[in-house]
């Protein structure tokens, strides 16, 4: 089986997690089948719910960031290390679809994968499921660029070692090579 073993940090404890498989975003011109990905688990806190008792929609974007940072760490690109090198990665686009609500104490399984990467831009996909019910709660993707000293930064052109890590992640997550 090709791919990496996912390590999930949930509530301060390391856990080995199984491979997850799914089909995501066929409307972007590609369909992904049988692809291993990172899974980040997240328990919904009381303060993240609204007056109706469901998770406020804005929190899912925070969960995406938590999962993305965990994913980057797992592939060998800890974001704190990247930032120490003066490289930032702002969000330049975000698409999110809410499918099913979650409530206090529900546990989300957030599947993360690289959908696209070219050295300058990165696109990451997310699929959030309720661990207890298996219900699909959210599908989303975020688009990022890279900046250094306020200017666009291209990992590929700079022959930055992170380019190789991202290329490998893209290949493992989508089967694409560039």
Tens-place pLDDT, residues 9-26: 333 333 333 333 333 333
Residue 16: partners with Cβ closer than 8 Å, 6 or more residues away: 5, 6, 7, 8
Q: Do the domain assignments include residue 57?
A: yes
Tens-place pLDDT, residues 166-175: 999 999 888 8
Is 50 exceeded by the pLDDT of residue 108? yes
Pairing of strands 147-148, 151-152: antiparallel
Tens-place pLDDT, residues 57-104: 999 999 999 999 999 999 999 999 999 999 999 999 999 999 999 999
Average pLDDT score over the chain: 83
Q: Do the domain assignments include residue 2?
A: no
Q: Do the domain assignments include residue 60?
A: yes
Residue 47: predicted pLDDT: 97
Q: How many domains is the chain partitioned into structurally? A: 1
Residue 82, domain CATH = 3.10.129.10
Per-residue H/E/C for the chain: CCCCCEEEEECCEEEEECCCCCCCCHHHCCCCCCCCCEEEEEECCHHHECCCCEECCCHHHHHHHHHHHHHHHHCCCCHHHHHHCCEECCEEEEEEEECCCCECCCEEEEEEEEEEECCCEEEEEEEEEECCCCCEEEEEEEEEECEECCEECCCCCCCCHHHHHHHHHHHHHHCCCC
Give the model's confidence band at 177: pLDDT under 50 very low, under 70 low, under 90 confident, else very high. low
Q: Do the domain assignments include residue 5?
A: no
24-38, 120-134, 160-174 — most confident range: 120-134
Q: Do the domain assignments include residue 4?
A: no
d(CA 129, CA 24): 13
CA-nearest of 91, 6, 1 to 41 is 6
Mean per-residue pLDDT for 52-59? 96
Q: Do the domain assignments include residue 1?
A: no
Q: Do the domain assignments include residue 3?
A: no
Is 60 exceeded by the pLDDT of residue 1? no
Residue 176: predicted pLDDT: 73
Is 50 exceeded by the pLDDT of residue 35? no
Q: Do the domain assignments include residue 124?
A: yes
């Amino acid at each position: 089986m090709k791919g990496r073993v996912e390590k999930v940090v949930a509530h301060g404890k390391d856990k080995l997690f199984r491979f997850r498989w799914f089909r995501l975003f066929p409307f972007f011109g590609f369909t992904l089948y049988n692809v291993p990905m990172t899974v980040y688990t997240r328990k919904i806190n009381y303060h993240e719910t609204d007056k109706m008792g469901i998770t406020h929609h804005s929190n899912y974007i925070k969960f995406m960031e938590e999962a993305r940072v965990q994913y980057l760490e797992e592939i060998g690109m800890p974001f704190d290390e990247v930032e120490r090198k003066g490289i930032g990665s702002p969000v330049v686009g975000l698409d999110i679809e809410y499918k099913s609500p979650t409530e206090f104490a529900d546990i989300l399984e957030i599947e993360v994968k690289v959908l696209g990467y070219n050295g300058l831009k990165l696109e990451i996909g997310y699929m959030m499921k309720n661990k207890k019910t298996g219900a699909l709660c959210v599908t989303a993707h975020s688009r990022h660029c890279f900046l250094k000293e306020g200017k666009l930064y291209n990992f590929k052109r700079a022959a930055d070692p992170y380019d190789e890590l991202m290329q490998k992640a893209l290949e493992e997550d989508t089967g694409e090579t560039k």
